[in-house]
Amino acid sequence: MNIIKKIKYFGGSIYRGLIGIWQNAFDKAPEIKTTVEWFVLGNSREGRNIRCYKIGTGPKKILFVAGIHGNEVGTIKLAHNLINWLYNHQEKFFNLSIYIISCLNPDGFEIAKQFPDYFRRGRFGRFNLNNVDLDRNFPSKNWQPQSIWPRGRDYGDEAIEVLCGDSPGSEPEVQGFVSFAGIERIKNIISFHNMAGDVIINLENPIAVKWANIYNKKAKFRIVKSPRLSGNMSEWCLENNINYMTVEGTTRWGSDWRKQRVAIQEVLNNLQNS
């Protein structure tokens, strides 16, 4: 980065860190209602349960997943809000079975809670306990042992090298996810990440394009073409004919719930009526 970019990046980091402190103090993840159906789909590297919540029993299935990167704290808060809201409005989605993984990377999330790293944009906790980026560990044909973590507004400020596991799908968190999706024959997946205010899709997938247009209209998120990263969930979904969209929320530590709720509702309405 040149000097001007460095100054802007530093100033932005301070600003975001101050907002993050406020959000962690006042925008907390609500407790999930105890009557919501849930099950354990697997365990983390350190042995923590990975919970999946289920709303509805309809024939059409969709899976939302949060916290694949444990440092993306806001996505877990978003998932908690979504679960409670769906539970209170499940009659609206009678044709759907909606699954929500509230945190795929609980080990990383524990690190992020202990070390929020406010003024460096929340780097701690992205990886699992094996120091693997789970969103580069999926058993896709393009998997490689190392990949990159692009950072910045247009994913161009810096590229950090990340580890992708000993082999495709080597990590227990990814194994549990892939096994569950296969058993349930999931054909629609939305993954929550942050923070860019984008939706990232394969432009050749018409279902994902519909979802992205909804997010663009209802939440003003930009539509971005998938960068085709090795071992990425998007690549795995593409190879397995799964409709997939990455949602990059607008905040690292906040839930983004008010901004995304209407868009999520419209996506679900679109799926139900299709």
**Could you give the percent of the chain with pLDDT greater than 90?**
87
Q: What 3-state class would DSSP assign to 248?
A: strand
State the pLDDT confidence band at 48, using cuts at 50, 70 and 90. very high
**CA–CA dist 56, 49 (Å, integer):** 22
Q: Give 213-260 pLDDT, tens digit per residue.
A: 999 999 999 999 999 899 999 999 999 999 999 999 999 999 999 999
The confidence score (pLDDT) of residue 12 equals 83
The confidence score (pLDDT) of residue 269 equals 97
Q: Which whole number is the average pLDDT over 44-49?
A: 97
| CATH number of the domain to which 259 belongs | 3.40.630.10
Question: Containing domain of residue 245, as a range?
Answer: 3-273
DSSP bridge partners of 76: none
Q: Is the pLDDT reported for residue 49 higher than 90?
A: yes
DSSP code string of 163-207: E--SSTT-SHHHHHHHHHHHHHT--EEEEEEESSSEEEE-TT-HH
DSSP bridge partners of 190: 64, 245
Q: Is the pLDDT reported for residue 62 higher than 90?
A: yes
Average pLDDT, the chain: 95
State the pLDDT confidence band at 65, using cuts at 50, 70 and 90. very high
Say how many domains are in the chain. 1
The confidence score (pLDDT) of residue 9 equals 78
Q: Give 114-165 pLDDT, tens digit per residue.
A: 999 999 888 999 999 999 999 999 999 999 999 988 876 666 566 789 999 9
Look at residues 137, 244, 143, 260 and name the one whose alpha carbon lies nearest to residue 201: 244
